[in-house]
Amino acid sequence: MPTATLSNGRYTIALSLYGTDPALATRLRHFLTPYFSDVDGAIPEIDLRLSLHDASAFEQRWIDACVSQVTIRETDAPGFTLRVLTNQGAPLQYAWDANLRVGYRIDKSRRSVDFYGEQNAFIHLIELVRYYGLLVEQAKGSAIMHASAVVERHGGNVIAIGGVKGAGKTTTMLDLVQSGDYLYFSGDKLLLDMVDGRIRARGWPDYPHIGIGTLRSHPRLAERLGLGAVAADHTIADTAKRLCVPETMRAALDAWPSGSGLLSTVILPDVSAPGTLRTQSLDAATIEQALQAPGLFEWPHRFITSTWHRLLDPAYGALTDTVPPALVAALEQVEWLSRTGIPRQSVTA
């Protein structure tokens, strides 16, 4: 296929297909929608030149050159632990996953990756695109907030739902969407930067991991996700999580059609707090503390999944755990709410 140029306004990918099966490229494009779209007009700087090939085209001599093990990602989520063998000394880097038969040829000077794989290579592919993209965003001045997000159905403003794992980001997001007043915007990360004096919020594609307790609180959603039987199985703990196919998750929710908007509010949930739902505004001192608290922002230069290929080496070496001062000042001016306890509609019998 001819090269397609996709961008979210800051991170731009040139995507080319050299294999015989377009299914992997098609699924990648669906996964990136609506956060990325085809570039019309002038082509911006390309951050990643990504070419997709059949796995069989990865040559044996390249496989033989791969001798050093690198863990790209290690996690409890099934299928998301990724390891490769790689040669790290040559200017052109090879990497090979013998179990999944996934190969990489990486040219750091051109920020290009020739990617070799079939349908089972999808997790490798999206982790490359996502985590390298987060590093590019950080290098260009974006802040990565660990947050779900919704959009006001009528006002169009973005509401961030931030916090550490287990705070209740997904539960709160689903409760707000279920109310009918909000639309789904982003599942796990929110990219923040300044545009014309306002905070621009952009969503980020993810592969949802939903808690069983959350599914039990939303039985109709569980059915639409094909997880009704899992939610009904009470031998499975509420704290366990299940993967949801991204396309299925988005189709199951009322979703905002765009990947970008203006941030108006940050909600900090705590569903573990006893009692029914309480919401209150935060004062300036508490907002300042929240902005400095660990876990609200993420730092891709610390993620091996973002850096193992060293496509941005040595640029990421200068990055720090710092939100740009202008963005901090703007965040201090938006509405901040604490939302503690569990909404009545989410309490199961």
Peptide linkage before 34 cis (omega within 30 of 0) = yes
98 and 78, same structural domain? yes
197 and 148, same structural domain? yes
First to last CA, the chain: 53
84 and 44, same structural domain? yes
Peptide linkage before 314 cis (omega within 30 of 0) = yes
Whether 179 is in a domain gets the answer yes
55 and 151, same structural domain? no
Q: What is the pTM of this model?
A: 0.94
What is the predicted pLDDT for the residue at 348?
34
Cα Dmax for the chain: 63
Whether 54 is in a domain gets the answer yes
What is the predicted pLDDT for the residue at 152?
97
How far, CA to CA in Å, does 283 sit from each of 144, 192, 261, 289, 338? 23, 22, 25, 10, 11
What is the predicted pLDDT for the residue at 116?
98
Q: Could you say which of 97, 114, 140 is where a domain stops?
A: 140
Q: Could you say which of 140, 156, 188 is where a domain stops?
A: 140
DSSP 271: T
245 phi and psi angles, rounded to 5 deg: -60, 125
Q: What pLDDT, in 10s, does the model give residues 158-183?
A: 999 998 887 889 889 999 999 999 99
Whether 304 is in a domain gets the answer no
Please count the other Cβ atoms lying within 10 Å of the Cβ belonging to residue 294: 7
Amino acid residing at 136: V
92 and 22, same structural domain? yes
Whether 307 is in a domain gets the answer no
User: Which two structure tokens, joined as six digits, stand for 118?
Assistant: 């079939």
Domain residue limits at 327: 143-208+244-299+317-340
Whether 345 is in a domain gets the answer no
pLDDT tens for the 349 residues of the chain, in order: 579 999 999 999 999 999 888 999 999 999 999 999 999 888 889 999 999 999 999 999 999 999 999 999 998 888 899 999 999 777 779 999 999 999 999 999 999 999 999 999 999 999 999 999 999 999 999 999 999 999 999 999 999 999 888 788 988 999 999 999 999 999 999 999 999 999 999 999 999 988 898 899 899 999 999 999 999 999 999 888 899 988 899 899 999 999 999 999 999 998 888 888 899 999 999 999 999 999 999 999 999 999 999 999 777 778 999 999 999 999 999 999 999 987 654 433 2
288 and 165, same structural domain? yes
Q: Could you say which of 140, 173, 199 is where a domain stops?
A: 140
What is the predicted pLDDT for the residue at 45?
92
Place of tokens 């899992």: 230
Contact between residue 193 and residue 331 where contact means Cβ atoms under 8 Å apart: no
Parallel/antiparallel/unpaired status of strands 112-116 and 48-53: parallel
125 and 47, same structural domain? yes
148 and 110, same structural domain? no
Contact between residue 85 and residue 68 where contact means Cβ atoms under 8 Å apart: yes
Which runs of E-coded beta strand occur in the chain? 4-7, 12-17, 37-38, 48-53, 68-73, 82-87, 92-97, 102-107, 112-116, 143-152, 158-162, 182-186, 189-195, 198-203, 209-211, 241-243, 260-270, 278-281, 297-298, 335-340
58 and 166, same structural domain? no
Whether 193 is in a domain gets the answer yes
172 and 122, same structural domain? no
Whether 348 is in a domain gets the answer no
What is the predicted pLDDT for the residue at 136?
97
As for how many domains the chain has, the answer is: 2
Q: Which of 208, 239, 203, 235 is nearest to 224 (CA)?
A: 208
What is the predicted pLDDT for the residue at 346?
44
329 and 198, same structural domain? yes
Whether 29 is in a domain gets the answer yes
* SS3 category, 118: coil
b/e code 228-238 from CB counts within 10 Å (16+ = b): eebbeeeeeee
190 and 266, same structural domain? yes
CATH (domain of 255):
3.90.228.20
For residue 344, what are the contacts with CB-CB under 8 A and spacing of at least 6? Answer: 276, 277
Contact between residue 82 and residue 16 where contact means Cβ atoms under 8 Å apart: no
